[in-house]
């Protein structure tokens, strides 16, 4: 392989493990050594579960040699966002009030990964409670493309670990953009499934009607390999979907004839970095050359702040109820940003929440109507990576003023409100070697179509094969 072992695709690694060309034990030791060498700079892991990973690797290797191969994840080292319960392993959720919490059972996604024979390297850092800022006493993951660069909200540890070759894929969650933003910031692939496709049982809630669980990886094919093992009905989750079309069939690098690509150029270019707009236009040219038909669509034109004002009341109301075990009794242990959001939710009445839900339904109907005209709509995956300091990332109100202007919530929040799927994938780089990432939005249950489009695009481009320079990673804290 031309790529270093830790940057090879999950699918390629799986084949080498299946054929016993590669040992899961040796691979796991390689990954643990890489984490040990680099993660004191990157801070992507909240907990490295070395003993568990070694035991799982030994078991996987023995099973494969005995002919009991379980599938693509068997013996492959992956990592979990520290929002998902893992029996016997701390699950802090970025929260000081949960610093000592060790679950007695696995979240459904974790259990399904273990049943698939995956090797769990550890739990990944995130923002406090999966909102937008870090608790001041918790580490902030560092973007491997540059020490001054934002690593994305919430699933930041997942994005950093995937981009830096510290796991072959990771679990992320998305309530307002927390798979899309870290995918964008770290230049990786992220699939936010339809709401209910992946069980939330055993996953700490931010806002239960908005929370999505999905895979992050370095390619569409790798993301699909993870998605296929974590998706599906779960009787423990009342919002879980029971549908026969959950699994995505093997992807083929074929043409895209007959598929329609939705374009609203004024919408996706408004306020967007010119270089990113150019990268999107180039991606459109690639997709049309592969057979897609461009179709004009009219996306809802609310601004980023209008979307935020629609999303925030729903989030705060539901978040307060998710934190009632600790809030307000232990509110002094919360960071200022999350504390203020929980206070907002505590003050809201049921009538105000019902009114917000009505607005959500009205907007979602318009948004979904535009999506149903085509097979996918192209736009940015939340904007462009930017420089940021620790104070802003910890929620300091003054420092955040310069940060908020970079958030293009019009490209992230709608799909959470409507519960529709999205796929984020790299589509270029700027002159400072910072990634550009596009997003494909689809109507409900269209994960397979989005992933087929993304896979064919990645078969024709090499953006997803470009990785951060290890020397830059080693000097992040210098």
> What pLDDT was estimated at residue 229?
98
Q: 243: which residues sit within 8 A by CB, 6+ positions away?
A: 233, 445
The two tokens of residue 261 are 């690509």
For residues 198 and 40, the answer to whether their CB atoms sit within 8 Å is no
The two tokens of residue 233 are 């009905």
> What pLDDT was estimated at residue 446?
98
Q: Which residue numbers in the chain have pLDDT < 70? A: 1, 470-472, 474-478
Distance from C-alpha of 92 to C-alpha of 139, rounded to nearest angstrom: 12
pTM above 0.95, yes or no: yes
Catalytic-residue membership of 96: no
> Which one is catalytic: 81, 96, 123, 444?
81
**C-alpha 83: how far from its chain's center?**
12
> What pLDDT was estimated at residue 473?
74
> What pLDDT was estimated at residue 31?
98
Tokens 């070697």 locate to 433
For residues 379 and 267, the answer to whether their CB atoms sit within 8 Å is yes
Q: 248: which residues sit within 8 A by CB, 6+ positions away?
A: 224, 227, 228, 447, 448, 451
> What pLDDT was estimated at residue 476?
58
Catalytic-residue membership of 178: yes
> What pLDDT was estimated at residue 1?
47
User: Considering only the top CATH level, what class is 5-474?
Assistant: alpha beta
> What pLDDT was estimated at residue 471?
64
Catalytic-residue membership of 81: yes
> What pLDDT was estimated at residue 367?
96
Domain ranges across the chain: 5-474
> What pLDDT was estimated at residue 472?
65
Dihedral angle sign, alpha carbons of residues 26, 84, 198, 211? negative
> Which one is catalytic: 154, 205, 219, 364?
154
The two tokens of residue 250 are 């093997």
Please write down the HEC assignment for all residues of the chain: CCCCHHHCCHHHHHHHHHCCCCCHHHHHHHHHHHHHHHHHHHCCEEEECHHHHHHHHHHHHHHHHCCCCCCCCCCCEEEEECCECECCECCCCCCHHHCCCCCCCCCHHHHHHHHCCCEEEEEECCCHHHCCCCCCCCCCCCCCCCCCECCCCCCHHHHHHHHCCCCCEEEEEECCCCCHHHHHHHCCEEEECCCCCECCCCECCCCCCCCEEEEEECCHHHHHHHHHHHECCCCCCCCCCCCCCCCCCCCCCCCCCCCEEEECHHHHHCCCCHHHHHHHHHHHHHHHHCCCEEEECCCCCCCHHHHHHHHHHHHHHHHHHHCCCCCCCCHHHCCHHHHHHHHHHHHCCHHHHHHHHHHHHHHHHHHHHHHCCCCEEEEECCCCCCECCHHHHCCCHHHHHHHHCCCCHHHCHHHHHHCCCEEEEEEEECCCCCEEEEEEECCCCCHHHHHHHHHHHHHHCCHHHCCCCHHHHHCCCC
> What pLDDT was estimated at residue 469?
83
Half-sphere exposure of 198 (CA within 13 A, CB side): 33
> Which one is catalytic: 155, 178, 240, 446?
178
> What pLDDT was estimated at residue 475?
61
Half-sphere exposure of 118 (CA within 13 A, CB side): 30
């Amino acid at each position: 392989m031309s790529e270093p072992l830790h940057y090879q695709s999950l699918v390629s690694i799986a084949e080498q493990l299946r054929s016993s060309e590669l040992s899961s034990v040796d691979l796991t030791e390689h990954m643990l050594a890489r984490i040990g060498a680099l993660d004191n700079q990157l801070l992507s892991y909240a907990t490295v579960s070395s003993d568990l990973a070694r035991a799982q690797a030994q078991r996987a290797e023995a099973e494969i040699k005995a002919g009991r191969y379980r599938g693509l994840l068997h013996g492959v080292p992956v990592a979990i966002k520290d929002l998902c319960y893992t029996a016997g392993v701390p699950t802090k959720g970025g929260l000081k009030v949960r610093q000592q919490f060790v679950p007695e059972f696995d979240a459904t996604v974790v259990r399904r990964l273990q049943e698939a024979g995956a090797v769990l390297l550890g739990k990944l850092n995130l923002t406090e409670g999966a909102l937008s800022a870090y608790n001041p006493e918790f580490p902030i993951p560092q973007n491997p493309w540059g020490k001054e660069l934002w690593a994305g909200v919430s699933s930041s540890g997942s994005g950093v670990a995937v981009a830096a070759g510290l796991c072959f894929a990771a679990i992320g969650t998305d309530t307002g953009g927390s798979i899309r933003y870290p995918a964008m910031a770290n230049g990786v692939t992220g699939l936010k499934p339809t709401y209910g496709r992946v069980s939330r049982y055993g996953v700490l809630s931010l806002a239960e009607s908005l929370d999505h669980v999905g895979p992050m990886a370095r390619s569409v094919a790798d993301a699909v390999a993870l998605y296929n093992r974590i998706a599906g009905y779960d009787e423990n989750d009342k919002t879980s979907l029971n549908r026969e079309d959950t699994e995505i069939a093997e992807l083929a690098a074929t043409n895209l004839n007959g598929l329609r690509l939705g374009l609203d150029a004024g919408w996706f270019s408004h306020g967007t970095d010119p270089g990113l707009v150019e990268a999107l236009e180039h991606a459109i040219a690639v997709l049309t050359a592969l057979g897609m038909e461009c179709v004009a669509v009219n996306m809802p034109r609310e601004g980023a702040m209008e979307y935020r004002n629609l999303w925030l009341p729903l989030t705060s109301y539901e978040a307060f109820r998710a934190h009632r075990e600790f809030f307000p009794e232990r509110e002094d242990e919360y960071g200022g940003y999350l504390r203020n959001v929980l206070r907002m939710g505590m003050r809201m009445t049921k009538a105000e929440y019902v009114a917000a839900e009505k607005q959500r339904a009205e907007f979602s109907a318009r948004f979904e109507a535009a999506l149903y005209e085509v097979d996918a709509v192209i736009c940015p995956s939340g904007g462009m990576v930017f420089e940021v300091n620790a104070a802003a990332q910890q929620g300091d109100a003054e420092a955040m003023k310069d940060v908020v202007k970079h958030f293009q919530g019009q490209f992230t929040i709608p799909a959470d409100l409507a519960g529709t799927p999205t796929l984020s994938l790299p589509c270029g780089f700027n002159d400072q070697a910072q990634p550009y990432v596009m997003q494909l939005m689809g109507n409900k249950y269209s994960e397979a179509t989005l992933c087929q489009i993304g896979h064919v695009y990645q078969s024709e481009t090499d953006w997803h094969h470009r990785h951060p320079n290890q020397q830059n990673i080693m000097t992040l804290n210098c």
